[in-house]
Amino acid sequence: MGSCSLVTSEMKRNLLYSMSVSKFLQLIKKIEDVHGGICKDIEDSYLSPEACNIWFNKEVDRKIPFQEKHVLQQGSILGNLEKIGALMKCNKNVEEKDHKNVSAVVEFGAGRGYLTQMLADCYGIEKVYLVERKSYKLKADRSLRQKENLVLERMRIDIEDFNLNAVESLHGVPYVAVGKHLCGPATDLSLRCCLSRQDGESPVLKGLAIATCCHHLCQWKSYINKEYILSLGISKDEFHIISSFTSWAVDDDHGSNLPGVDDIDLLVSNAKEEGEGEVRDDSLSSMEEVVKKMKPMERAVLGFKCKQIIDAGRMKWVKKHGLDSKLVKYIPASISPENTLLVAG
């Protein structure tokens, strides 16, 4: 994304502080009204699929470093794809391949490729495409290349510039798209890459699972469903303010800004009972005063609501493009407060 069009965190804060208090209160009211209609549709789906037992039980020879919480996250992402029928457990006793089974994976923002490593180990994927603009050490690539009959391509490219249709070995191939490190606009760019330019030779998208994060980095320019946001009566500038609010929910290390909170829904309901999360004091003269007077729980609740609104627009866009899509909480917030998964198939 060109830096000249980037709306920085400082620019977003300036938009907030230049608002009148009454406009701010109107925006809060919109956020509360919209969130009330979407939050009940986000179900818990913490899965530990049997197919991944060799990882959960440490039965695979893993020379790559890992953290147990990442194994739980990766397993649940794949379990949610299996749940919607986009993945099938690999049956080593069957010689003949099921033609309906997915044979390829495209991992966006692949990093070291550990999510795909688990997918290849547990679901018999034969073609692996890792899309990542940065260079990494300690990658899973060496382990993946040792797998018999597995084809691996690592593409060092920005997702914005990546054209799936140009990958000849993927033409007409059924695949799943996954992403666990897609910060801010990278989620929108990945969705557009998968669903916007399809023709007869396009790869066949059978399912996708993207764990969304870093909503404070979202940009109007790349956001996938501007139509939805505008239909809510939220302007471009207000969208950037909403994205800045999300930083109040999660700290720089992807931890909750409210230590010890396991359930965000419980947080929201507690805030309502205590009368928090509803900024109503229009006697304050400036936005700086308003923000300073907000309690930590108020700010965190507002941040989580804004994250879910941004993700709801993405989910609706995917649905409009013909996939059955939903948002789920794929791990407990105690493992990571960045626990929303957009899954579709």
Lowest mean pLDDT among 14-28, 92-106, 255-269: 255-269
Q: What is the DSSP string of 3-40?
A: GGG---HHHHHHHHHTS-HHHHHHHHHHHHHHHHHHGG
**If pLDDT is split at 50, 70 and 90, which confidence band does 112 have?**
confident
Rounded to two decimals, the pTM is 0.89
pLDDT, average across residues 244-268: 66
Instruction: Name the average pLDDT for the chain.
Output: 86
DSSP 8-class letter at 297? H
pLDDT(22) > 80: yes
Reduced 3-state DSSP string for 51-94: HHHHHHCCCCCCCCCCCHHHHHHHHHHHHHHHHCCCCCCCCCCC
Q: What is the pLDDT of residue 232?
A: 94
Q: What is the pLDDT of residue 302?
A: 94
pLDDT, average across residues 81-89: 91
The proportion of the chain whose per-residue pLDDT surpasses 70, expressed as a percent, equals: 82
**If pLDDT is split at 50, 70 and 90, which confidence band does 118 have?**
very high
Cα–Cα dist 29/31, whole Å = 5
Beta bridge partners of 154: 130
Q: Which tokens in the block code for residue 127?
A: 């073609």
Q: pLDDT tens digits, residue range 259-305?
A: 444 455 665 555 555 554 455 555 556 898 899 999 999 999 999 99
Cα–Cα dist 91/217, whole Å = 41
pLDDT(205) > 70: yes
Lowest mean pLDDT among 82-96, 108-122, 230-244, 286-300: 82-96
pLDDT, average across residues 30-37: 92
Q: Where are the domains of the chain?
A: 43-89+99-218+309-344
Beta bridge partners of 250: 256
CA proximity to 51, closest of 29, 30, 21, 81 = 81
Q: What is the pLDDT of residue 210?
A: 98
CA proximity to 140, closest of 130, 149, 148 = 130
End-to-end C-alpha distance for the chain, whole angstroms: 28
Q: What is the CA radius of gyration of the chain?
A: 21
Q: What is the pLDDT of residue 277?
A: 46
Higher pLDDT among residues 196 and 116, named by residue: 116
Q: pLDDT tens digits, residue range 305-325?
A: 999 999 999 999 999 999 999
Q: What is the pLDDT of residue 94?
A: 40
**If pLDDT is split at 50, 70 and 90, which confidence band does 99 have?**
very low
pLDDT(255) > 90: no
Residues in the chain: 345
CA distances from 328 to 117, 222, 289, 340 (A): 23, 23, 36, 6
pLDDT, average across residues 143-161: 91
Q: pLDDT tens digits, residue range 37-79?
A: 887 789 999 999 999 998 888 877 656 556 788 999 999 999 9
pLDDT(230) > 70: yes
Instruction: Choose from 54-68, 112-126, 226-240 the range with maximum mean pLDDT.
Output: 226-240
CA proximity to 188, closest of 155, 216, 160 = 160
Q: What homologous superfamily is domain 43-89+99-218+309-344 in, according to CATH?
A: Vaccinia Virus protein VP39 (3.40.50.150)
Q: What is the pLDDT of residue 199?
A: 67
Higher pLDDT among residues 258 and 292, named by residue: 292
Lowest mean pLDDT among 40-54, 94-108, 182-196, 330-344: 94-108
Q: What is the pLDDT of residue 268?
A: 58
pLDDT(174) > 60: yes
